[in-house]
Structure 1
Amino acid sequence: MADLYLKNLESERRQLWATCRLKGLAKDTPERQRIAAIDEAIAAHKAKKSG
């Protein structure tokens, strides 16, 4: 079964990253901060899932 939470996080991250690259946004923008938060959530979810 697919992990929909993980897929949703990764999809949102890809979309934000594309926007940041297109606009050339700096590291301190809300979009880049959200990407960092998503990375942490993905890492925590994978660690929890693997046990």
Structure 2
Amino acid sequence: MEEETREILTLDDVAAYLKVGKRTVYRLAFKVGGTWRFSGTDIDMWIKQ
């Protein structure tokens, strides 16, 4: 079964997607070139939990 490939989201993208503040989503982040990035797949799995 193929896993759906999701884009990498910015902190602002995730906060808007989840309708929460930026501080709420920092624990799911990783840094790339000094900016916070998120895996869309990880965000979807977090929501399902």
Please report the TM-score for the alignment, with normalisation by the length of structure 1: 0.28
More helix by share: 1
Work out which of the two has the higher radius of gyration on C-alpha atoms and give 1 or 2. Answer: 1
Please report the TM-score for the alignment, with normalisation by the length of structure 2: 0.28
